[in-house]
Amino acid sequence: MEAEKLLLRVAGGDHNAFEDLYGLVSGPVFGLVKRVVRDPAQSEEVAQEVLLEMWRSAGRFDPGKGSALSWILTLAHRRAVDRVRSARAAGEREQREALRAGTPAFDQVAEEVEAGLERELVRRCLDRLTALQRQSVTLAYYDGYTYREVAERLSLPLGTVKTRMRDGLTRLRQCLGGAA
């Protein structure tokens, strides 16, 4: 009921009521917008737009049709959905334009070369592991086995496999980090 009274005062141009209403609804507005938009920075921007719209259009609020919070959250949902649709449409326009121009959206040759170099680096780093570490890491990360399944396949205690994996991954991280 407090939000309704505040919103009616905001409709009359009451700045203090807007300040109080802002404090009351900004959290729920941002939460709703963030669930729809997902990007925190864009969510903040959309939430601010909604709260500004709440100030400008408070006179359109009709308490007979629902609560003030519902009205405000409806504004927020609509604005958030509009932002998502706009971003999606812009991405689709860029893709269509890239196709029309005959240029790929990314440099395919550069991507393939970079991927090849990364694979070679990983291979070299794997070669620096002990045979037991390499075997455990390969089974888990390339063949998709869980630590428990690796232990069963190698007939080793789970703790031994976990230690090998930890040590092997530490050495890989050092090797890959040093090369990057």
In whole angstroms, how far apart are CA 162 and each of 127, 154, 156, 168?
19, 12, 10, 10
Write out the two tokens for 7: 């919103």
CA angle 158, 163, 164 (to 5 degrees): 100
Q: What is the reported pTM?
A: 0.55
User: In the predicted model, what is the mean pLDDT of residues 39-46?
Assistant: 93
User: In the predicted model, what is the mean pLDDT of residues 87-109?
Assistant: 76
In whole angstroms, how far apart are CA 18 and each of 55, 90, 170?
7, 34, 55
- Tell the residue number behind the tokens 């976990």, with chain if given: 162
CB 6 within 8 A of CB 24: yes
Which string of DSSP letters, residue by residue, matches 122-165?
HHHHHHTS-HHHHHHHHHHHTS---HHHHHHHHT--HHHHHHHH
Look at 76 and 138; give whichever has higher pLDDT: 76
Task: Name the least confident of 59-68, 74-83, 121-130.
Answer: 121-130
Task: Name the least confident of 10-14, 34-38, 123-127, 139-143.
Answer: 139-143
Average pLDDT, the chain: 88
Indicate whether 59 pLDDT > 50.
yes
